Structure 1
């Protein structure tokens, strides 16, 4: 069985670990970076002909902790190579007026490239997506559980990128924790501006909304990163469960 937990259950499990100084963000970011490498390897296996000159990863980054996880992961990958020793090019499109402060500082120091405007221009972001191997959706995480609807600049950016990822051979969409725009608890999709993920990298526990339709249809292959919440969740009744045979 796959257990699905609510945002509040996950926050409650994280709280004592954060109070104790456990590096949950670092664990999440490292796990995300490793999964992005795996996705690049999968892309390389499916290539026909020569490898590209660079493996571009475009990150759509919101202002919360979800965006911070993506920025720290980008910092870890910056300056490294992917399959066939091809350099990895990290490009960040901010979807709000600001970004996670520590994550932003780490990414800048590592040499990650940022689109000029904040929030990024939708057309510029779509142009970057056209040459990308991966688009990382780190706009909203479980912090948006009170109202996951994409509005304003985040919605415009997602709507601009959506046709690019829907093209045959387009970039692989990797969602961070949950696809932005779905309710992480109930799986509802209040608006249609959601990037359908091929992979969702979720942290600590599978979020219930990743298992419940229609949100489950946007999640793709859900990959759980262990950040140490197991003991905290051992006696917690999950919000939902899914038989692995049905996953």
Structure 2
């Protein structure tokens, strides 16, 4: 499992380690990894032109020391000092001893535009509130250059703890981070700015619970429901799907498609699209008597394409089993009813739906995804899966937020969310917790999207059809 810790925890761990090591040892561990990553990206160090953007903190010191190492290997290294009087003295001396130079302010633009590699050491993980005007001006020049861009620890201008970006920020091809991932490296919009992330182990011991968790194949494989010799369709779990309407029968079909591939033993469908569902999936158990009379289920999915069917949403929320609420169900569900449920509830909004539930603009949710998913989980007393370029899953009781590392932009297609709802609801019925079901569902859905698309446009039905391949890929 990949984990990320907040700045306060990282700082405390660094102080504890530095107290036990000779002075400067921790920085040199970081610098060795940083310089090696820069060399790998350059391919040929000798004769390369490297420009360091140096702020006043330790990130600036890291950039200077790494620049000194590259200069000793034959690179032409020059430093742009944003605060010359506060530049790291040891790092600057090392750069000059190695043959590097300092670029006068008036020549910084030309140096950047001629560079093969720009090393961003402007702001460290403690940076807040965006870049100052002089730094923002340099970042704009970097955007115009053809240089490869490497960020020290995280791109300058992004918030390490939240993933928010306020104003200009460095867009890196590679971010070399030290000790542990920071939340902003895994969460959009900041994740877009980080490029490829390379973690350098510097020996940190990080106590307590991380801020962010990202499941990997092995973690997901350990959570997938696998039938045993004594299993039957009921022991494996039955998921109920209350979805679709006369206007949106396809939502029901796609939700059922996802559910049939999600690990439960049977799928019960309730709603007006029964004929369409049975025509496509004759193994589905169909009822037109409403959720309360549909028969026994271990979990419900309600809302995809449901229109204004508030009665079905209310009936499902009265059930004493886990419930996944999506799409129209989010609009129709009463917050106090959701908060009062004794069984787990999993809500799966996209940014627009989350914004409506929170009473804010969509842009606020997209710009502060971590804060938004936590706020929704707290307000509704539910687990919340916030869909989007970075899918996040937050539990109502707090703790680490899960970030999904799979997916593709091709999943932004009509009906894709309906497949995710059915798939995740089936995992709920198979016995996974709301947090695990949301995390595993998003992981499989994202991987299925990649496999189905293979670099080309894809439909939601294709994504559902690729869930089995994704499942086998994880278990393999």
TM tier relative to shorter chain: 0.7 to 0.9
CA root-mean-square deviation: 1.8
Rounded Cα–Cα distance in structure 2 between residues aligned with 1:133 and 1:213: 27
Per the alignment, residue 84 of structure 1 pairs with none
Which residue number corresponds to residue 189 of structure 2? 214
Tell me what 1:134 maps to. Answer: 117
Matched, 1:63 2:60: no
Change beyond 3 A, Cα 1:148–1:226: farther
Report if the CA contact (8 A) 2:113-2:141 is conserved.
no
Q: Tell me the alpha carbon deviations over residues 209-230 of structure 1, each in whole angstroms, 9 at most, x when there is no partner.
A: 101110011011100011001x
SS at match of 1:24: helix
Question: Any idea what the Cα deviations from partners look like across 1:165-203, whole Å, max 9, x if unmatched?
Answer: xxxxx1111000000000001000011x11211100001
Match of 1:203 in 2: 178
**Aligned with residue 137 of structure 2, among 145, 156, 172:** 156
State the 4+ residue runs in structure 1 displaced beyond 4 angstroms: none
Are 1:19 and 2:19 matched, yes or no? Answer: yes
- 1:83 counterpart residue number: none
* TM-score with structure 1 setting the length: 0.82
Relative to structure 1, the CA distance from residue 184 to residue 59 in structure 2 (aligned partners, 3 Å threshold; closer, same or farther) is same
- Secondary structure of the residue aligned to 1:78 is helix
Displacement after TM superposition at 1:54 (Å): 2.2
Structure 1 distance, partners of 2:67, 2:103, is 14
Partner of 2:77: 90
- 1:11–1:136 distance in 2 versus 1, CA, 3 Å: same
Q: Does 1:106 align with 2:90?
A: no
What are the Cα deviations for residues 50-108 of structure 1, in whole angstroms up to 9, with x where unaligned? xx98211111111110000111111122131xxxxxx3111111122331111111111
Structure 2 gap ranges (5+): 218-404, 407-476
2:166 is the counterpart of 1:190: yes
Structure 1 contact 137–176 (Cα < 8 Å) conserved:
yes
Q: Secondary structure at the match of 2:126?
A: helix
Contact 1:4/1:208, CA 8 A, preserved across alignment: yes
CA contact (8 A) 1:125 1:161 kept: no
Larger radius of gyration: 2
Structure 1: any 5+ residue segments left out of the alignment? 45-51, 81-86, 165-169
Query: SS at the partner of 1:222?
Result: strand
| Aligned partners of 2:52 and 2:77 also within 8 Å | yes
1:40 to 39, 42, 48: 42
The structure with higher relative contact order (CA 8 Å, sep 6+) is: 1
In structure 2, the residue matched to 1:177 is 153
- Aligned partner of 1:237 in structure 2 is 209
After superposition, the Cα gap between the structure-2 partners of 1:244 and 1:134, relative to the gap in structure 1 and judged at 3 Å, is farther
User: Residues 126 and 160 of structure 2 are in contact (CA less than 8 Å); yes or no, is this contact kept in structure 1?
Assistant: no
| 8 Å contact from structure 1 (residues 96, 153) kept in 2 | no
